Amino acid sequence: MRYVSTRSKAPAKGFSSVLLEGLAQDGGLYTPEEYPQISAKELSLMRTMNYPQLANAVLGKFIDDIHAGDLRELINATYTKENFASDKIVPIKHLEENLYLLDLCQGPTLAFKDMALQFLGRLFEYSLAKSGQSLTILGATSGDTGSSAEYAMRARKGVRVFMLSPLGRMSEFQKKQMYTLQDENIFNIAIKGTFDDCQDIVKAINEDAKFKRQYKIGAVNSINWARIAAQVVYYFWGYFRATNSNDERVMFSVPTGNFGNILAGYVAKQMGLPVEKLILATNENNVLEEFFENGTYRPRVGQEVHATSSPSMDISKASNFERYIFDIVDRNPKRMAELWEGLKSAGFFDLGSEEIEKVRASGFVAGSSTHADRVAMIRSMYEKYRVLVDPHTADGIHTGLKFREKNIPLVCLETAQPAKFAATIRESIGQEPELPKSFKELEKLPERFVSFEPDLEKIKHYIATAV
Ligand SMILES: *Cc1c(COP(=O)(O)O)cnc(C)c1O
């Protein structure tokens, strides 16, 4: 399996090379040269597999340059009861006929990003050891991504994490989750400023090529192909749990920010999974809803990005979207260059009518919701089914129900546990979400972080002396 860049100017590479590289040299995203296909026979065999077996079957299609036995061990060590609360790994909740919740948030940080990042942590450790390298992961977080990355990389050999977060601007829960980690390879840097200050510093460090090389700075952001591949697995899993035979088709509803989660659903469909529709749900930041309605992609800038009560979807630019457009333009390098040039100079692009036809045929529909919709959905799910969902999941269900079709199972992806978003839960049902047991313990632990003004040189100095 070779991976090619969406900008077509970087050399094609194998899985292990693109794993540690991040963005391709030409600024594009690595994507498989061709999507592997699942035969009808394979699909029948997969139906009875447990989660690690299924992960092995699906990931083996994308990863062919790691020894098969080693890959199986990495997967078996990742998807365990200890890590994901039960042997099911991804439980499915049956709400009523043809309506399901796929629970992707049983991992250590209670959000779906653990599904991929927990695997990525082990994969990084393994690949770095093989090549005798080490890596310094540098990131900025407003709360959720940072904790997921830290829990994935804690105690992993050859990896250090420097995570910048805005001091005093995260929820108590998020703060405790990150700052109580005692592992020596985790460095929490609390910035006396905003999330944007954190991001600016990370960007400035990444632009300093010499520093970057010297301290082996990398990222675990959502453009990493290994993350997408690991997410493809639970679409297969969800399909088998919501159907009785492989003649049936299902719809998935997916709360979307960076287009990472739903891209994995699109890839599963390309591989031959019988998916009827992929329902893309956004919040007030509805750039992608606009795109699927009229073929215009116009990312928001600065003040146009709303701070909402489903904050992990407050994204101006959907990074992984580029991989989807690459397919829509039949991977034509000239057309890609044209579109991304337009994005840079005019701030938007418009697809042509043939391309819009391809978008329509690709099986996506999209919708958005407001704070009021979210609150109403959390309340209604609680009253109707006694199920408490988080605000992101509520966005997904809101749009999912809008596009639901008779006799087709609708699987709504549950992306975080409600305990992470207590304020919105309180507003919706008038009571506190229950804290998971493991997190009651966190409150007693000491916090471990350093704090800085948003001063680039001081932070570089700190990294340089700590590495
Ligand atoms: C990251 C995140 C999302 C959005 O996922 P993308 O892959 O960025 O589309 C949705 N819900 C929650 C809880 C998240 O943490």
Q: What DSSP string describes 112-167?
A: THHHHHHHHHHHHHHHHHHHT--EEEEEE-SSHHHHHHHHHHTT-TTEEEEEEEET
Least confident span in 179-188, 207-216, 223-232: 207-216
Indicate if the pLDDT at residue 304 is higher than 90: no
10 Å CB burial of residue 449 (0-12, 13-18, 19+) is: middle
Cα torsion 261, 264, 266, 269: sign? negative
- Kindly list the distances between the CA atom of residue 65 and the CA atoms of 5, 16, 120, 223, 327, in Å, as whole numbers in the listed order: 18, 7, 16, 20, 25
pLDDT on residue 219: 79
pLDDT tens-digit readout, 413-461: 999 999 989 999 999 999 999 988 777 888 889 999 999 999 999 999 9
Top mutation candidate among 258, 283, 316, 323 for ligand 1, by most atoms within 8 Å of CB:
258
Listed residue (151, 79, 138) closest to 111, CA to CA: 151
Asked if residues 229 and 63 have their Cβ atoms less than 8 Å apart, the reply is yes
Give nearest CA residue, ligand 1 atom 15: 312
Residue % of the chain over a pLDDT of 90 = 84
Buried-state track 244-277, b at ≥16 Cβ within 10 A, e below 16: eebeebbbbbbbbbbbbbbbbbbbbbbbbbebbb
What is the number of the ligand 1 atom nearest to the C-alpha of 261? Answer: 7
pLDDT band at 23 (very low <50, low <70, confident <90, very high): confident
- Kindly list the distances between the CA atom of residue 203 and the CA atoms of 138, 312, 345, 402, in Å, as whole numbers in the listed order: 10, 20, 21, 39
Least confident span in 169-173, 247-251, 386-390: 169-173
pLDDT on residue 221: 75
pLDDT tens-digit readout, 392-422: 999 999 999 999 999 999 999 999 999 989 9
Give nearest CA residue, ligand 1 atom 7: 260
Q: Which string of DSSP letters, residue by residue, matches 402-458?
A: HH--TTS-EEEEE-B-GGGGHHHHHHHHSSPPPPPHHHHHHTTSPP--EEE-S-HHH
Active site amino acids: 113
pLDDT on residue 25: 86
Please state, rounded to an integer, the average pLDDT across all residues of the chain.
94
Supply the DSSP symbol for 111. B
pLDDT on residue 173: 84
Asked if residues 397 and 367 have their Cβ atoms less than 8 Å apart, the reply is no
Phi, psi dihedral angles at 350 (to 5 degrees)? -115, 135
Is 29 in a helix, a strand, or coil? coil
pLDDT on residue 203: 86
pLDDT band at 82 (very low <50, low <70, confident <90, very high): very high
Top mutation candidate among 114, 223, 316, 415 for ligand 1, by most atoms within 8 Å of CB:
415
pLDDT on residue 314: 87
- Tell me yes or no: is domain 92-108+225-429 CATH 3.40.50.1100: yes
State both tokens at 333.
């390098």
pLDDT tens-digit readout, 197-223: 898 899 899 889 899 989 999 878 778
The pTM assigned to this predicted structure is: 0.95
State both tokens at 152.
């994935």
pLDDT tens-digit readout, 118-158: 999 999 999 999 999 999 999 998 877 899 999 999 999 99
Indicate if the pLDDT at residue 316 is higher than 80: no
pLDDT on residue 142: 80
Supply the DSSP symbol for 87. T
pLDDT tens-digit readout, 240-290: 999 999 999 999 999 999 999 999 999 999 999 999 999 999 999 999 999
Listed residue (100, 5, 19) closest to 62, CA to CA: 19
Cα 462 vs. chain centroid, distance in angstroms? 29
Can you name the residues that pair with 32 across neighbouring β-strands?
Answer: 3
Residue 113 alpha carbon to ligand 1 centre in Å: 7
Least confident span in 88-97, 140-149, 321-330, 343-352: 140-149
Residue 162 alpha carbon to ligand 1 centre in Å: 21
The CB density around residue 49, as the number of other CB atoms within 10 Å, is: 16
Top mutation candidate among 103, 312, 390, 421 for ligand 1, by most atoms within 8 Å of CB:
312
Residue ranges lining ligand 1, Cβ < 6 Å: 111, 113, 144, 222, 255-261, 312-313, 392, 415-416
Listed residue (239, 235, 251) closest to 407, CA to CA: 251
Indicate if the pLDDT at residue 22 is higher than 80: no
Residue 313 alpha carbon to ligand 1 centre in Å: 6
